[in-house]
Amino acid sequence: MITTLQGKAFGKINIGLDVLRKRTDGYHDVKMIMQTVSLYDRITITRTSKSSSIALETNLSFLPSNENNIVYKAAKLIKDEFGIKDGLSIKLEKHIPVAAGMAGGSTDAAAALEMLNTMYVLNLSKEELMKRALKLGADVPYCVLKGTALSEGIGEKLTPLKPLMPCFILIVKPPVYVSTKFVYENLKIDQLKSHPDIDGIVTAIEAGELETMSRKMENVLETVTEKNYPVISSIKETMIQQGAISSLMSGSGPTVFGIFESEEKINQAASFFKTAHPSFRTYVTKPVNST
């Protein structure tokens, strides 16, 4: 019997992001390319004798540790469905920036589902886990799938793609808070001058053409976020100056990433950002494939 389990919850970036329309239910139909990166949170789950309780603690004091936390919700979902009587102690060690366009909460929830599936030998397939994941949020099914994927609908329709070509991904998050709700509410879909060539990005990935993929990267949410936070445009420009093939904002921001072919160049760029902008959070990462 497994009493303690430790796991990694990997972050994601959007290699391309298009918003097609606002739906009658208030959500938006999107078409985007998701990619898992090697920056991760660490989760430890331990069975306890405190019947039915879920005790969640995290290294960030401002995060909720009750039913308002998505990891708590994931644990409760599994406990309720499968009648698990044990108490659970969950330790969440955050490294992925919070509210940064990297699915930090969603990936933690996905990891909790996977870990409880293993701990209690529930034998749920990846598809069965993804169905439950959707109850927790639109990005959570992708975080169960991982790797490189085309995401459509509200983010729940997922098509796995060939793994991304070997490369290095520099992630930089400036110290600003961006509300996803604000970005979507202020997006003028009918006024967009262009839409990303998502199909072209898919073709480039399938053909293993890193440079073509990078040149086609586009995110329509930048039209809102960059206007309100010019620092995002500045980071993108600096990424290119520092040797990135291309640079883009992930999700609704404010995180920006750059694609690099050379480890030497990405390390130089990371050093530049850490020295010139010590208040920014800077990470050297790689693509992570689906498991």
Residue numbers belonging to the annotated binding site for ATP: 97-107
Catalytic: 12? Answer: yes
Annotated active-site residue 139? The verdict is: yes
Residue pair 203/222 in contact (Cβ under 8 Å)? The answer is no
Set 18, 41, 108, 139: catalytic member: 139
Nearest Cα to Cα of residue 7 among 130, 115, 97: 115
Structure tokens at 232: 């995002």
Query: Mind giving me the DSSP string for 136-203?
Result: T-TTHHHHHH-SEEEEEETTTEEEE-PPPPS-EEEEEE-S----HHHHHHT--GGG-S----HHHHHH
Asked if 180 and 251 count as a contact pair (C-beta separation under 8 A), the reply is yes
For β-strands 4-22 and 87-93, DSSP reports them as unpaired
Q: How many CB atoms lie within 10 A of CB 55?
A: 14
CA angle (194 as vertex; 201, 138 as ends), nearest 5: 60
3-state secondary structure of 233: helix
Q: Catalytic positions, please?
A: 12, 139
